[in-house]
């Protein structure tokens, strides 16, 4: 039995004041049995969020980390710095990192290895572009991203995979529950073929315009174990509704 997981990716949003406001609503409302909740603020807000969530049932994650452990790498944040802060999770290979920072599967793999060494729980993102879907190559792309990131890794017990079709992120377009379920089932088949991964125990999240009005239908699919939520995670009421939908039997 895989526990439902809902992760809020706050991206490059917020000020100290708005983060406080969002957290006060979330901390009050998020004691929802059955669903694990994670929020991923910008680096500069991690300590503030960590302090506010310490007695709440919300864990904290980063949106990225370096593939290096320390050294003269201006602007980078090492995975050990994150775990030292009390941060438990890290998102890796988000399509915005792949698109705007040229992150290849090799870099994602190196980041994953460094994050696991630092004891972080990784959320590895995969997903195809609109052109790739229209060309019929969505599964080939996603399969290659999984192979590229996961092959040869060890200690993958805490691995979470997020399927985020690039065409659905921030666009208001969502994969239909059927489209999402088909890809999630395919991802689970791929995971079965990767050494060191327990495919039946690994949680696979859906991400891409998850909203209050589509969350329940997505969560009803057998291979969708929760969501990676962007825009709707910045609105406490919406995020709490999505968490509740994930907890429904
Ligand atoms: P969105 O973002 O919910 O705003 O589409 C999801 C994500 O990028 O993780």
Per residue in 82-127, pLDDT tens?
A: 999 999 999 999 999 999 999 999 999 999 999 999 999 999 999 9
The per-residue pLDDT for 120 is 98
Share of the chain above pLDDT 70, in %: 98
Residue nearest to atom 9 of ligand 1 (CA): 230
Mean pLDDT on 124-149: 96
pLDDT number for residue 209: 93
pLDDT of residue 116: 97
Q: Ligand 1: does its nearest atom lie under 6 Å from the Cβ of 244?
A: no
Q: What is the mean pLDDT of the chain?
A: 95
Give the pLDDT confidence score for residue 148 in this predicted structure.
96
Residue 118 to residue 83: CA distance in whole angstroms:
7
Average pLDDT, stretch 167-184?
A: 91
Nearest residue to 86 (alpha-carbon basis) of 115, 59, 123: 59
Ligand 1 touching residue 226 (CB < 6 A): no
- The yes-or-no verdict on residue 32 having pLDDT over 80 is no
- pLDDT average, residue stretch 33-60: 92
Give, for ligand 1, the residue of 38, 169, 227 to mutate: max count of ligand atoms closer than 8 Å to Cβ: 169
Query: Position of tokens 């090492």?
Result: 78
Cα 71 to ligand 1 centre (Å): 32
Distance CA 1, CA 5 (A): 12
Query: d(Cα 25, Cα 100) in Å, to the nearest integer?
Result: 32
Summarize the confidence of residues 170-186 as an average pLDDT.
Answer: 92
Does residue 95 have its Cβ closer than 6 Å to ligand 1? no
Distance 169 CA to ligand 1 centre (A): 5
pLDDT at position 31 is 67
Token pair in block for residue 18: 């708005």
**Residue 66 burial (CB count, 10 A):** 20
CATH topology assigned to domain 4-247: TIM Barrel (3.20.20)
Give 203's strand partners. 160
Q: What is the DSSP letter of 151?
A: T
Residue bearing tokens 């992760």: 7
Domain boundaries along the sequence of the chain: 4-247
pLDDT score at 30:
61
pLDDT computed for residue 29 by the predictor: 74
Q: What is the pLDDT of residues 194-204, one digit of tens each?
A: 989 999 999 99
User: Is 177 within 8 Å of 222 (Cβ atoms)?
Assistant: no
Residue 34 confidence class, pLDDT cut points 50, 70, 90? confident
Fill in the DSSP letter of residue 248: -
Tell me the pLDDT band of 171, cut-offs 50, 70 and 90. confident
């Amino acid at each position: 039995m895989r526990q439902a997981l809902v992760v809020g990716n706050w991206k490059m949003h917020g000020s100290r004041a708005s983060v406080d406001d969002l957290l006060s609503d979330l901390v009050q409302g998020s004691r929802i049995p059955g669903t694990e909740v994670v929020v991923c603020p910008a680096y500069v807000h991690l300590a503030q969020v960590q302090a506010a969530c310490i007695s709440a049932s919300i864990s904290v994650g980063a949106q990225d980390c370096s593939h290096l452990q320390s050294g003269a790498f201006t602007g980078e944040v090492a995975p050990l710095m994150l775990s030292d802060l009390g941060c438990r999770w890290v998102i890796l290979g988000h399509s915005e990192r792949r698109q705007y920072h040229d992150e290849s599967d090799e870099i994602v793999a190196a980041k994953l290895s460094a994050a696991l060494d630092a004891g972080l729980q990784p959320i590895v993102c995969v997903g195809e572009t609109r052109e790739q879907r229209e060309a019929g190559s969505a599964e080939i792309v996603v399969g290659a991203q999984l192979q590229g990131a996961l092959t040869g890794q060890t200690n993958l017990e805490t691995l979470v995979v997020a399927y985020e079709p690039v065409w659905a992120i921030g666009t208001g377009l969502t994969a239909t529950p059927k489209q999402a379920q088909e890809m999630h089932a395919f991802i689970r088949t791929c995971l079965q073929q990767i050494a060191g991964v327990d495919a039946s125990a690994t949680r696979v999240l859906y991400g891409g315009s998850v909203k209050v009005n589509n969350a329940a239908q997505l969560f009803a699919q057998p291979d969708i174990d929760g969501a990676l939520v962007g825009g709707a995670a910045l609105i406490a009421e919406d995020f709490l509704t999505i968490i509740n939908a994930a907890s429904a039997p």
